[in-house]
Amino acid sequence: MVTRNKTRTVRLTLTYLILLFVATCIIYPLLWTIGASFNPGNSLVSTSIIPKNPTLDHYRELFAGKESLQYSHWYMNSLKISLFTMLGTIVSVSFTAYAFSRFRFKGRQQALTLFLLLQMIPQFSALIALFVLAQMLGMMNSHWLLILLYIGGQIPMNTYLMKGYMDSIPVDLDESAKLDGAGHTRIFIQIILPLCRPMLAVVAMNGFTGPLGDFVLASTILRTQEAYTLPIGLFNLVNEAMGASYTTFAAGAILISIPVAVLFVLLQKHFVSGLTAGGTKG
């Protein structure tokens, strides 16, 4: 009995140490960035996380309206792209997952396998093809093309997760609704979707945060400052526009997290249960 208690104590201690280490790795850079955003000057180098002479100058500078720093415009561009990507992802993934979950058709299993394989291909390997496609369509510098590309990239993995969640919903519910005269559309909208709210929250979060932090694809498609998203604008802020203003960059990066935090608060009651679901094999 004593040995069991010692073993349990050791396991709990190791678990808490690992959790503490992971939390430190996540929280420390965040705290340092927050501190840097209030630090006077342009350097991130500081002897402490808490600035000795904190200032809001960097936040004011972001919204000063300088021609080389169109932060508000970039912010709205990012929000627009993220919101439309989130909505498009929810709609496309819901329909696709429902088809894979409730219908049996030729090539179904192969398509699911293909979805998983597509996730293993690095994004940058398709950049040349996407660049040529954008030029052929005459949609270089287009937010709408970027939104469509983001939605397409979100479909494979999210479809697999959503399909697994739908598989956990008893088919008896569908059959009961059919006996009452309901068609597939009504079953999907009135029965399946309400029961899939936890996974829809996960898909919404994935669809929103993906474009908000993307730099590689956005920098390939977008060419003018008016069309820039926040990652591109902040990158140029450090490298070109303002001569390595790292503290202003830190302030801009902190403000990016606000929409994500708001969305997480709105979806948190569904978010945890959705993340732990979707593992049903089909």
Residue 81 clears pLDDT 90, i.e. is over it:
yes
Residue 254 clears pLDDT 90, i.e. is over it:
no
- How far is Cα 282 from Cα 209, in angstroms, rounded to an integer? 28
Using DSSP, state whether 181 is helix, strand or coil.
coil
6 within a domain of the structure (yes/no): yes
If asked whether residues 107 and 244 sit together in one domain, one would say: yes
282 within a domain of the structure (yes/no): no
If asked whether residues 44 and 94 sit together in one domain, one would say: no
Render pLDDT for 99-108 as a digit per residue (tens, 0 to 9).
888 888 888 8
If asked whether residues 54 and 113 sit together in one domain, one would say: no
If asked whether residues 27 and 153 sit together in one domain, one would say: no
Domain that holds residue 28: 2-58
Tokens of 235: 């990158």
Calculate mean pLDDT across residues 128-155: 89
> What are the residues whose beta carbons fall under 8 Å from the beta carbon of 144, sequence distance 6 or more?
none
> What are the residues whose beta carbons fall under 8 Å from the beta carbon of 162, sequence distance 6 or more?
93, 94, 96, 97, 196, 199, 200, 203, 278
Question: Where a domain ends, among 17, 35, 58?
Answer: 58
If asked whether residues 152 and 193 sit together in one domain, one would say: yes
Q: What b/e string do you get for 127-140 counting C-beta neighbours within 10 Å, with b at 16 or more? A: eeebeeebeeeeeb
CA distances from 88 to 123, 154, 175 (A): 20, 10, 29
261 within a domain of the structure (yes/no): yes
Q: Give me the number of domains the chain comprises.
A: 2
If asked whether residues 218 and 83 sit together in one domain, one would say: yes
If asked whether residues 194 and 247 sit together in one domain, one would say: yes
In the block, which residue shows the tokens 């500081």?
Answer: 46
If asked whether residues 166 and 188 sit together in one domain, one would say: yes
If asked whether residues 231 and 183 sit together in one domain, one would say: yes
Residue 91 clears pLDDT 90, i.e. is over it:
yes
Tokens of 80: 């627009």
281 within a domain of the structure (yes/no): no
pLDDT at site 66: 65
103 within a domain of the structure (yes/no): yes
If asked whether residues 83 and 52 sit together in one domain, one would say: no
Angle subtended by helix axes 127-137 and 143-167, to nearest 10: 120
To the question of pTM greater than 0.75 for the whole model, the response is: yes
- How many of the other CB atoms lie within 10 Å of CB of 94? 22
Quick check: 146 and 137 in contact, CB under 8 A? Answer: no
233 within a domain of the structure (yes/no): yes
44 within a domain of the structure (yes/no): yes
pLDDT at site 146: 92
If asked whether residues 10 and 111 sit together in one domain, one would say: no
If asked whether residues 12 and 95 sit together in one domain, one would say: no
Between 259 and 268, the higher pLDDT residue: 259
Using DSSP, state whether 271 is helix, strand or coil.
helix
Calculate mean pLDDT across residues 152-158: 87
Mean pLDDT value across the chain = 82
280 within a domain of the structure (yes/no): no
pLDDT at site 244: 62
